[in-house]
Amino acid sequence: MSPSIIYDFQKDASTTNWRVVDDGVMGGLSQGKLQVDDDGHGVYSGTVSTENNGGFSSLRYRFSTMEVSENHSVVLRIKGDGKIYQFRVKDKVNQDHSYIYNFQTSGEWQTIEIPLEEMYPTYRGRKLNIPNFKHSQIEEIAFLIGNKKAESFELLIDKIELK
């Protein structure tokens, strides 16, 4: 089975369905932003602040329901800044919890394969006592940085695929 593209950044890529959600929703002061650079990569960057009980920035992409029952993993083509990020999925956009997977960036271009079955459920940073991801669809993906410290960050995103 050939990979299905969830999103492939290009020079003229629209970021309309991408949304930054920072800890400001809880009174925090972190600030993230998304831009497309001259090479056609999504650049998710900003600062994480731990002031006012803050400590995270997230970048979310919602889309029409995508069937994933034939897929086993999500493949990210990214270049990070050496920091740890979370990749998150939701099978329904209106559910409160997400399924997450932490990954370490190296400062170089990386291809990171994330087994869907290893993505575990969390809500507001707490692991839930329900099974890991075993759904037949997804409607949202997200990247999140929240390493319990004040720091700047930059994550370049080339593409996201289902495999």
How would you write the pLDDT of the chain (163 residues) with one tens digit per residue? 567 999 999 988 889 999 999 999 889 999 999 999 999 999 999 999 999 989 999 999 999 999 999 999 999 999 999 999 999 999 999 999 999 999 999 999 999 999 999 999 999 999 999 999 999 999 999 999 999 999 999 999 999 999 9
Q: Where are the domains of the chain?
A: 4-162
pLDDT of residue 71: 95
pLDDT of residue 1: 57
pLDDT of residue 2: 65
Rounding to the nearest 10 degrees, give the CA dihedral for residues 64, 68, 72, 77.
-20
Q: DSSP states of the chain as a string?
A: -PPEEEEE--TT---TTEEEEEGGGGT---EEEEEE-TTS-EEEEEEE--GGG---EEEEEEEEEEE-TT--EEEEEEE--S-EEEEEEESSTT-S-EEEEEEE--SSEEEEEEEGGG-EEEETTEE-SSPSP--SEEEEEEEEE--SS-EEEEEEEEEEEE-
Rounding to the nearest 10 degrees, give the CA dihedral for residues 138, 85, 56, 40.
-80
Which tokens in the block code for residue 152?
């700047």
Which CATH superfamily hosts domain 4-162?
Answer: Galactose-binding lectin (2.60.120.430)
pLDDT of residue 48: 98
